[in-house]
Amino acid sequence: MSFEGKVAIVTGSSSGIGEATALQLARGGAKVVINYSKSEDEARAVEAKAKDAGADVLCVQADVSDDAECRKLAQAAIDAWGRIDILVNNAGRTKFANHADLDALDAEDFLGIYKLNVVGPYQMIRACLPSLKEHNGAVVNVSSIAGVKAIGSSVAYAASKGALNNMTVSLARALAPEVRVNAVCPGFVGTPWFQKTFGDEMYKTIVDRISAAVPLKKAGTPESVAEVICFLASDASSFVSGETMLVDAGLHLDPMATNR
């Protein structure tokens, strides 16, 4: 896919799906803002990879749960290149908690997760909106199958992604025809974050279990999700808005798979 002449912001792009998306956009010719909150070394490594691919890149620290930081991030793209064509809202967080253990989460857990996973994307869209409207831009929100099937790492996470899906549809309606808004809903994706969190042995066990459970018999990768994000950000999807696209190797097709 070609993104020549386009300017893209990818939040939370220091690793995982965000990194893969930023690199695919860069390799397609886009000018890309790589964003991180705390992981500067990792973000600089992504910046170097994008520059090696011949892309024009900015690396900007910003916590997108803060409105002023969102406006700073959008302004950095405008100051550098005068426009914003693509916004990928990828930054997010969770807390692992058994859904049946209602004492495992408190109000602060819900508020913190919601602030980054829902309010953050809203604030980023608002900060970028004048330029997105001017250039008939595209927004892609990185959601989760958790928001569709009410599964995943915790009730708070699933609820936040359900809210993000709802907001995607609402804003697709409200911002048309100038701006398209879509979401991707990945199933399990084997990212470095998962590997660091669980360790190599448990990570392999999870990947093997997921691969056995889903109809397509393979676990997702950051690159496989990034391909769909880039499609929704591209002119190839110019007739698509308000979609929440499942990217889960068919997990949603098997009513038993979500319980394994």
Note whether 95 and 108 are within 8 A (CB).
no
Return the HEC string of the chain. CCCCCCEEEECCCCCHHHHHHHHHHHHCCCEEEEEECCCHHHHHHHHHHHHHCCCCEEEEECCCCCHHHHHHHHHHHHHHHCCCCEEEECCCCCCCCCCCCCCCCCHHHHHHHHHHHHHHHHHHHHHHHHHHHHCCCEEEEECCCHHHHCCCCCHHHHHHHHHHHHHHHHHHHHHCCCCEEEEEEECCECCHHHHHHHHHHHHHHHHHHHHHHCCCCCCECHHHHHHHHHHHHCHHHCCCCCCEEEECCCHHHCCCHHHC
pLDDT tens for 96-142 read 999 999 999 999 999 999 999 999 999 999 999 999 999 999 999 99
User: Average pLDDT in the 216-244 region?
Assistant: 96
Window from 161-165, 226-230, 234-238, 251-255 with minimum mean pLDDT: 251-255
Instruction: Please list the active-site residues.
Output: 157
How far apart CA 129 and CA 121 sit, in angstroms, is 12
* Local confidence band at 259 (pLDDT 50, 70, 90 cut-offs): very low
Note whether 124 and 9 are within 8 A (CB).
yes
- Looking at the predicted structure, is the pLDDT value of residue 153 above 50? yes
* Local confidence band at 260 (pLDDT 50, 70, 90 cut-offs): very low
Quote the distance between the C-alpha of residue 4 and its chain's center: 22
Structural domain boundaries in the chain = 7-189+221-254
Q: What is the CATH number of domain 7-189+221-254?
A: 3.40.50.720
Distances (CA, A) of 128 to 75, 166, 239, 242: 8, 20, 21, 18
Window from 101-115, 185-199, 208-222 with minimum mean pLDDT: 185-199
**What's the pLDDT at 196?**
73
User: Average pLDDT in the 193-207 region?
Assistant: 79
**What's the pLDDT at 256?**
55
pLDDT tens for 53-80 read 999 999 999 999 999 999 999 999 999 9
